[in-house]
Amino acid sequence: MKDYYLNASELRSAAAYYVRHFPNEAQNSVRIAEHAVDNEFIIPYTGDLSRWIPLGKPVVDWLHNPTNDPEFTWGINRHWHMLDLGKAYLMNGKPEYVTAFMQHFRSWREQNPVPVIPSYEEAVFFQKLGPWRLLETGLRVQSWISAYKYMEDSPLLDGHFRSELLEGLAEHAEYLTRYLGSTEINHAIMHMQGLYMIAVFHHGHPRAPYWRQLAGERLELCLLHQVGPEGIQIELTTHYHDAAIEMFGTPYLLGALSGHPFSAWYGGQLRKMAAFTEALVRPDHQSTGIGDSDWISSGRQRLTLLGAILKDDALVGRGTGNAECLWLLGAEAYERCVQLQAESAPSVSSVAFVQTGYYVMRDPQQYLFFDAAEMGGAHGHADALNLEWMWNGQLLFTDTGRYTYEEGEWRRYFKSTRAHNTITIDGLDQTPYISTQQWGEPVAKASTFRWESNSRYHFIDAAHDGYIRLPGPVMHRRWVLLGVEVPLLLIADWLEADGEHELKQRFHLHPEAVLELSSGAGAAGEAGEAVGGEAEVEAETAFIGTGGDAAGGFAVAARTAATVVYPGSTVKLNMSWMTSGLKDEQFTVNKEQGWVSEVYGSKSEIPVIEGRAAWAGKAGILTLCLPGDAADGSGPLHVSTCVVDAERRRVELSYVYGDAIGTIVIGPDTLGWTERRE
């Protein structure tokens, strides 16, 4: 039975494979190791990822923090750099990497003895400052064990050092058993992930069976408390859901390798988690970033890991290659995963997680994610009714990421409603912001009324109550209709309020998008010409009833249109707006500056389409999105009539597309889409 994922021979093979197939990552591991020898570090999840920070000579000061961000102290005390010292040693055998590992381990223990903590509550506080927060305690031991296994054949790692390592691991194990964080937060998974790894590696210790049993039982409790009935981690974020797969998955793998397998129920829960991860993978193989998540991430990497440890070849096939799996599975097993993935195709089916409130509309042409879920806690964003849309391989409307956890204007911005593709009222968030890890009351709640996905269209009808707290309460309801064969996205936003309010509707575009706005007479026709010449909304037919008086609640023709193009792409997007019930029927659309965070600590400017209006009572805004691709040879979509009626909450639209003549009628309880051929 094994005491680690891979034995010495398997680790050497993994290192050789790493050099051949992941050359950039291999070079980066060597670069990190070289700087670590000089006591210089870049700390993940901090605001400065561009420079190496010296932390003392000749000995590292493990409490030195040149920033105002506690994530810096937490990050450096996870000792993730030791993994790269070990990988670099496996690649080139330099003894200085082993020496640095030993010096860092010993100096850390000298500077940070096991603390005497005045109260249990202080010890388990999830934001406890310093190196002995339970989260760092659980993560640090995983770095120690992995680094030691990577360098185990070095003559420098003699019996005396091994005794020191085992002593340090036992201290950490006792600390993790003495202070037990709540199994309802994700930190507890990492506490027990570390404890389980100690128990497997340090299996000769008389307390090891107890450590293993306690860790295994509490991991099952975490899985029970933190994963909902649809397999979604309760914080409702892509990042923490996918991270939880690794946190739960690696002990499951170690249990099987060491002869202490977890229950079948545990494996079944992991399989359910995989379904949600897979659903959020876009056609570009990146994942939609819900809540505190990065803009650049791929859940397919987790599918590879889960498929391998669950022995599910189909799941492996839908994953993708990554170095993390290589170091857990070994070169031979990993190469088999790569071969399975070369023969597999991604799913193009829509998926609804109705109990949670997440909806994925998917067909061969496009992908749309819609959020009608709860907040999800401290890592959630004020993003009810947000959507992300990719069409023909081009990301059109995007989520914006997280950027930082440090309190300040940037933390507030990325969590705010205005940083998402939805509507704000009177400049306020849907849920009051308190601080980086706290939302106020009342928390906005979303409800889904209708959901359909078929061969002709995808449709969602949902609302949230985040603005009923205002002195003049407001309800926001949103319909999203997405054509499958007809290239059309229709977004109807319905507002109902007591008193007068101001709304702002935003769409965040890809960083490379080029946006042009046009307004006034002929605006809609100009938008149509951008598609290919014909698509337009005709003012003469955009009214129903007797006239278009705003007081009557009837539709107003498109006043503004937008064209979005992408350098290097043949995809274009044309947008126009029709409104009903607005004050003076004024809906102003402007280009604003927004931000997207590719990874934690990094941000870039993006263009944002912002529509603004005032209203009282009932109002409706119809956003008509017509994508086109000059490369596919299809003709333009011509919208002949479009009617919006806020009083009756009704949309009527007629179009011509090729030889098809279609009509769409949506009401509060009905949706009809008919089409005939000329």
Q: What is the pLDDT of residues 194-218, one digit of tens each?
A: 999 999 999 999 999 999 999 999 9
Predicted local confidence at residue 633, as pLDDT = 73
Q: Are 673 and 652 in contact (CB under 8 A)?
A: no
| Cα 68 from chain centroid (whole Å) | 26
Torsion angle in degrees (nearest 10) through CA of 177, 182, 186, 188: 0
In the 8-state DSSP scheme, what is residue 418? Answer: G
Q: Is 213 helix (H, G, I), strand (E, B) or coil?
A: helix
Tell me: the pLDDT tens digits for 603-622? 999 999 999 999 999 999 99
Q: What CATH code would you report for 1-123+131-169?
A: 1.50.10.100
Predicted local confidence at residue 558, as pLDDT = 52
Predicted local confidence at residue 630, as pLDDT = 81
Predicted local confidence at residue 541, as pLDDT = 28
Give CA–CA dist 349/287, Å, rounded: 16
What residues form DSSP beta bridges with 519?
560
Instruction: Check whether 405 has a pLDDT greater than 60.
Output: yes
Tell me: the pLDDT tens digits for 90-144? 999 999 999 999 999 999 999 999 999 889 999 999 889 999 999 999 999 999 9
Q: What is the mean pLDDT of residues 613-638?
A: 91
- CATH 1.50.10.100 range(s) for the chain read 1-123+131-169
Q: In Å, how far are 243, 292, 333 from 237, measured between CA atoms? A: 10, 6, 30
Query: Between 639 and 520, where is the model more confident?
Result: 639
Tell me: the pLDDT tens digits for 249-295? 999 999 999 999 999 999 999 999 999 999 999 999 999 999 999 99
Predicted local confidence at residue 469, as pLDDT = 97
- Burial of 623-644, coded b for 16+ CB within 10 Å and e otherwise, reads bbbbbbbeeeeeebbbbbbbbb
- Given pLDDT bands bounded at 50, 70 and 90, which one contains residue 559? low
Predicted local confidence at residue 247, as pLDDT = 97
Instruction: Check whether 536 has a pLDDT greater than 50.
Output: no
- Given pLDDT bands bounded at 50, 70 and 90, which one contains residue 521? very low
Instruction: Check whether 475 has a pLDDT greater than 50.
Output: yes
- Residue recorded with tokens 């010296």: 54
Q: What is the mean pLDDT of residues 67-87?
A: 94
Predicted local confidence at residue 1, as pLDDT = 86
Tokens of 564: 């979005």
Predicted local confidence at residue 47, as pLDDT = 67
In the 8-state DSSP scheme, what is residue 1? Answer: -
Q: Are 378 and 41 in contact (CB under 8 A)?
A: no
Q: Are 361 and 458 in contact (CB under 8 A)?
A: yes
Q: Give the H/E segment covering residue 108.
A: helix 95-111
Give CA–CA dist 248/226, Å, rounded: 11
Lowest mean pLDDT segment, chosen from 40-54, 201-215, 231-245, 543-557: 543-557
Instruction: Check whether 549 has a pLDDT greater than 90.
Output: no
Predicted local confidence at residue 269, as pLDDT = 96
Tell me: the pLDDT tens digits for 417-456? 999 999 999 999 999 999 998 999 999 999 999 999 999 9
- CATH 2.70.98.70 range(s) for the chain read 351-677
Task: Please give the CATH architecture assigned to the domain spanning 351-677.
Answer: Distorted Sandwich (2.70)
Residue among 386, 384, 387 at smallest CA distance from 395: 387
